[in-house]
Homo-oligomer: A and B are copies of this chain.
Amino acid sequence: MFELIFKNMLRDKPIVHCITNFVTVNDCANIILSGGGSPTMAHHRGEVEEITEKSQSLVLNMGNVHEVDSMILAGKKSNELKHPVVIDPVGIGASKLRDETFAKLSQKIQFSVIRGNISEIKAVANRKGMTKGVDADETDMVTEDNLKQTVVMAKRLSEELRSVIAISGCIDIVADKEKAYVIHNGHPIMAKITGTGCMSTALIGAFCGGNPDNILEAAAAAVATMGVSGDIAFEKMKRFDGGTMMFRMFLIDSISNMTSEIINGGMNIEKI
């Protein structure tokens, strides 16, 4: 299945329109390129609709709370054109502004994928009154112990919002209302560089742009690619006695050198 996802990416070289934050924008552009897509970071409200028309998918990153109008214009246009729209609700729960911004965006735009860490996805779920079972895990980490329960939450949330839900962490979950992929790749050092989450969202945007009819598998393939690349990058970093910045370099490098053989060999994924 994933082989087809990769093949489509390489064939289509999808243009991915990102309206994203200034902290990690360069990493996001580079990870899209490394995955075979073509990034465009236009965020001026005077052009985002036109740019989105020429793109294959849209990535909205709430780390940028200055450009909500642009996000709405681009998001509505993408919905019209049936382009995949991926949102990263960065920092939802951390301020009223973020919560209101997400509320506004989700009122106007139908998201194909919502990607966040478990705290962010819980904050999204809590908005829907889905508190029961959601706050059970006090450590806010997906572990083997709470995995099943989190998958149930993700599937319910997916059904409720009609979006694929991608939860990043030591264990990643990518779910629609019926199926969930659980991915055990990646390394804790990924939390020691800024932008791993944003990059993951950007890569999901690229994979969905090349596979608009297969959003769940495209999102899962992107998350698995990040994880496998994290594994490879950590090994390379150790070999060169490096640190977090060398890890970042090798993370994107590994994606730029990724083949379906490498990913199939390295992937630790289950479907539940």
Does A206 make an interface contact (CB < 8 A)?
no
Given contacts A44-B97, A94-B50, contact A246 B253 (CB under 8 A): yes
The oligomer's copy count stands at 3
> Whole-angstrom distance from the CB of A9 to the nearest CB of chain B?
14
Q: Are A252 and B256 in contact (CB under 8 A)?
A: no
Chain B residue contacts of A254, Cβ below 8 A: 243
Other-chain contact of A245, B21, B195, B248 (Cβ < 8 Å): B248
Closest B residue by C-beta to A243: B253
Binds B, one of A28-36, A127-135, A174-182: A28-36
In the complex, the answer to whether A42 meets B91 with C-beta atoms within 8 Å is yes
Tell me if A262 is interfacial: C-beta within 8 Å of chain B.
no
Give the contacting residue for A65; candidates B21, B44, B195, B248; CB below 8 A: B44
Q: Does A192 contact B (CB under 8 A)?
A: yes
A41 on interface, CB distance cutoff 8 Å: yes
Whole-angstrom distance between the Cβ of A134 and the nearest chain B Cβ:
21
Shortest distance between the CB of A140 and any CB in chain B (Å): 14
Which residues of B are found within 8 Å of A39, using beta-carbon distances?
194
10 cross-chain CB contacts under 8 A: A22-B25, A30-B248, A34-B192, A34-B245, A46-B96, A47-B97, A50-B95, A243-B253, A243-B257, A244-B256
